[in-house]
Amino acid sequence: MTQTTERSVPKADAETPTFKLFIAGEWVESVGGQTFESVNPADRRDVIGRFQAGTKADTAMAIKAAEMALPRWKATPAPKRGEILYAFAELMARNKERLSRAMTREMGKVIAEARGDVQEGIDIAYLMAGEGRRMFGDTVPSELSDKWAMSIRQPIGIAGIITPWNFPIAIPCWKMMPALVTGNTVVFKPASDTPHCATLLVELMAEAGFPPGVVNLVTGGGAEVGDARVESPDVPVISFTGHSSTGKSIAERAAKRLKRVSLELGGKNGVVVLADADLDLATDGILWSAFGTTGQRCTACSRVIVEKPVVEPLLERLERRAKGLRLGSGLDEAVDVGPLINPAAVEKVGSYIEIGQVEGELVLGGHPATDGELEHGNFFEPTIFANVMPMDRIGQEEIFGPVLSIIPVDDFDAAITALNQTRYGLSASIFTRDVNRAFRAMRDFETGIVYVNAGTTGAETHLPFGGWKETGNGHREAGHAALDSYTEWKSIYVDFSGRLQRAQIDNQAASG
Ligand code: UN1
């Protein structure tokens, strides 16, 4: 639930709207009768709404609704399902500005980025609408004559979708669109910091024509609503993006029921800058990846690994440019950096500043930003530490805020080693003009995403998205790889020879 400081306790009043759960095609109140508030992280006095604090019983009803809707949805031809996704994409495009502004108000990212987030949702909806007419399987020759061999994808059942607050439209769409087009039904639990974005999204899904029960929304806390899904024998697929510790606990509990679990967890994404790099371009890429979304992307850059001869000129550029970044409400088009999501995030970032001051050298920022109007929001200054060692805690742990560590290294090989010396493996980038080194990096970086001469953010929806090592558990979102999380393969053999044909035996010459 959204936390607040004593300084500015939000005041919901009679004007504050109350939103509901969406179960079996109806907007309903939680059986528990409790609500929680969502507030604007740029101004905690601004209460967006009251949302239902869903319970285990609400979740059970949502699962039941998804179960009832499953047979018909599964039997609906995939191209028809795709048409509903297409209609949903169109509706989102028409409502892009409204959704973007609501997102900035609730989540805090600056409006240009909120538009990008909504666009990412639109992109995946169109892409997956098209999957309704593709969803390729293999048709291959059989080793026996007069025999047909092919494979098809089929839905698994009910998908439990648990999403974070940092991409409150894009990530639910990444997960729900492939689940739905392949014929699964969905129970969706959004992060407690962004229930309004989720509600607006589900309103449009209902308008687009997803039949009752195909999509169900249950807002509320992870312990009540998330766990009920993880434990339920009726939800065979869970897709989760968020904290590593939560992801691991979901995987452990789901393993007892052999569920399919797709996890997208932490990152400690690095940019390598070689001595021959275009330093102005590198500066642009690093600033955008480190301080865009206030550092609250899974793909955000938090480590820059730099060949020693260019540490000084790069640092000088980064400092100068970061100093010029404007903090404030993301609804103001001139603002570069919005707030952190909640006061707990400000505290967490602050605790890493203390650690960083022992480990490295603080060269910029390091404090909550509270000047003027900023005092009502969860703002933190863009922060840079120099002289960080690869294994320092601020070089290893996910901070999820506007904190950048500069790690000097002797040469290219040391840079590759430092880049890979982390338990995470989501995104990485290299700035160089040397094509041979660029290709070596592409081969040797142990990450699911690699950029050359660009920052670590900006993945597009038609390529696989996900990380190596402890960033995930081998699944991918986006691209056609996303279909693997929500489908079972069925291999089908049709023998039209009219006689018994034994594979691996009858097609072999008799030996001896
Ligand atoms: C995330 O932070 O979990 O590549 C998603 C990017 C975005 C998606 C980020 N397209 O930064």
Q: Residue 168 Cα, ligand 1 centroid: separation in angstroms?
A: 11
Does residue 6 have a pLDDT over 60? no
Listed residue (271, 283, 361) closest to 307, CA to CA: 271
- Average pLDDT on 391-399 reads 96
185-217 pLDDT per residue, tens:
999 999 999 999 999 999 999 999 999 999 999
Same domain (yes/no): 240, 335: no
Tokens in use for 359?
Answer: 């480990």
Same domain (yes/no): 342, 233: no
Q: What's residue 5's pLDDT?
A: 44
464 lines ligand 1 (CB under 6 A): no
Atom of ligand 1 nearest to the CA of 298: 2
Tell me the percentage of the chain whose pLDDT exceeds 70: 97
138 inside domain: yes
Residue to mutate (ligand 1; options 109, 127, 167; most atoms within 8 A of CB): 167
Indicate which CATH number applies to the domain containing 195: 3.40.605.10
Cβ neighbourhood burial of 416 (10 Å; 0-12, 13-18, 19+): buried
Residue to mutate (ligand 1; options 119, 243, 268, 298; most atoms within 8 A of CB): 298
Tell me the percentage of the chain whose pLDDT exceeds 90: 94
Q: Residue 211 Cα, ligand 1 centroid: separation in angstroms?
A: 30
36 inside domain: yes
Q: How many CB atoms lie within 10 A of CB 15?
A: 6
- Average pLDDT on 381-392 reads 98
Question: Pick the catalytic residue: 173, 197, 298, 301?
Answer: 298
Atom of ligand 1 nearest to the CA of 300: 11
Same domain (yes/no): 238, 273: no
Helix 279-291 and helix 311-323, axial crossing angle in degrees, nearest 10: 50
Q: How confident is the model at residue 7 (pLDDT cuts 50, 70, 90)?
A: very low
Q: What's residue 229's pLDDT?
A: 83
461 lines ligand 1 (CB under 6 A): no
Same domain (yes/no): 229, 281: no
How many Å apart are CA 380 and CA 368, to the nearest integer? 4
107 lines ligand 1 (CB under 6 A): no
Same domain (yes/no): 120, 31: yes
Does residue 490 have a pLDDT over 60? yes
Q: How many domains does the chain have?
A: 2
Q: How confident is the model at residue 511 (pLDDT cuts 50, 70, 90)?
A: low
500 inside domain: no
188 inside domain: yes
Q: Residue 296 Cα, ligand 1 centroid: separation in angstroms?
A: 9
Same domain (yes/no): 287, 244: no
Cβ neighbourhood burial of 194 (10 Å; 0-12, 13-18, 19+): buried
Same domain (yes/no): 221, 293: no
The one-letter amino acid at 340: L
Given a contact cutoff of 8 angstroms between Cβ atoms, the answer to whether 166 and 297 are in contact is yes
- Average pLDDT on 261-289 reads 97
Does residue 226 have a pLDDT over 90? no
Does residue 499 have a pLDDT over 80? yes
Q: What's residue 201's pLDDT?
A: 98
Same domain (yes/no): 79, 207: yes
CA distances from 377 to 292, 294, 324, 412 (A): 17, 13, 20, 42
Atom of ligand 1 nearest to the CA of 461: 10
- Average pLDDT on 378-391 reads 98
Among this protein's residues, is 264 annotated catalytic? yes
Does this model's pTM top 0.85? My answer is yes
Q: What's residue 4's pLDDT?
A: 42
According to DSSP, the residues that pair with 263 across neighbouring strands are 240
According to DSSP, the residues that pair with 384 across neighbouring strands are 364, 404
DSSP label at residue 378: T
- Contacts of residue 15, defined as CB under 8 A and 6 or more positions apart, other chains included, come to none
The one-letter amino acid at 121: G
Same domain (yes/no): 419, 478: no
399 inside domain: yes
- Average pLDDT on 308-334 reads 98
> pLDDT higher for 231 or 420?
420
For residue 200, give the 3-state DSSP assignment. Answer: helix
227-249 pLDDT per residue, tens:
888 889 999 999 999 999 999 99
13 inside domain: no
Same domain (yes/no): 287, 203: no
Residue keyed to tokens 């000084």: 312
501 inside domain: no
Give the domain range for residue 48: 19-265+472-490
Q: Which helix (H) or strand (E) holds 409?
A: strand 403-409
179 inside domain: yes
Same domain (yes/no): 231, 285: no
Listed residue (183, 13, 156, 169) closest to 95, CA to CA: 169
Q: What's residue 225's pLDDT?
A: 78
Q: Which helix (H) or strand (E) holds 247?
A: helix 244-255
**Read out DSSP for 55-83?**
-HHHHHHHHHHHHHHHHHHHHS-HHHHHH
86-127 pLDDT per residue, tens:
999 999 999 999 999 999 999 999 999 999 999 999 999 999
Instruction: Give phi and psi for 313, each to the nearest 5.
Output: -65, -35
Q: What's residue 156's pLDDT?
A: 98
Among this protein's residues, is 298 annotated catalytic? yes
Listed residue (356, 436, 369) closest to 403, CA to CA: 356
Q: What's residue 328's pLDDT?
A: 97
CA distances from 243 to 21, 77, 165, 247 (A): 25, 37, 11, 6
Given a contact cutoff of 8 angstroms between Cβ atoms, the answer to whether 345 and 378 are in contact is yes
| Domain termination residue (choose one: 405, 423, 452) | 452
Question: Pick the catalytic residue: 120, 264, 359, 477?
Answer: 264
Residue keyed to tokens 């995987």: 251
Q: How confident is the model at residue 312 (pLDDT cuts 50, 70, 90)?
A: very high
298 lines ligand 1 (CB under 6 A): yes
Cβ neighbourhood burial of 75 (10 Å; 0-12, 13-18, 19+): exposed
User: Which residue, by CA, sits nearest to atom 3 of ligand 1?
Assistant: 298
How many Å apart are CA 194 and CA 163, to the nearest integer? 10
Q: How confident is the model at residue 512 (pLDDT cuts 50, 70, 90)?
A: low
CA distances from 141 to 67, 144, 153, 494, 502 (A): 37, 8, 18, 11, 15
Same domain (yes/no): 223, 356: no
For residue 412, give the 3-state DSSP assignment. Answer: helix
Q: How many CB atoms lie within 10 A of CB 98?
A: 13
Q: What's residue 124's pLDDT?
A: 98
161-171 pLDDT per residue, tens:
999 999 999 99
Does residue 2 have a pLDDT over 50? no
457 lines ligand 1 (CB under 6 A): yes
299 lines ligand 1 (CB under 6 A): yes
Indicate which CATH number applies to the domain containing 281: 3.40.309.10
57-88 pLDDT per residue, tens:
999 999 999 999 999 999 999 999 999 999 99
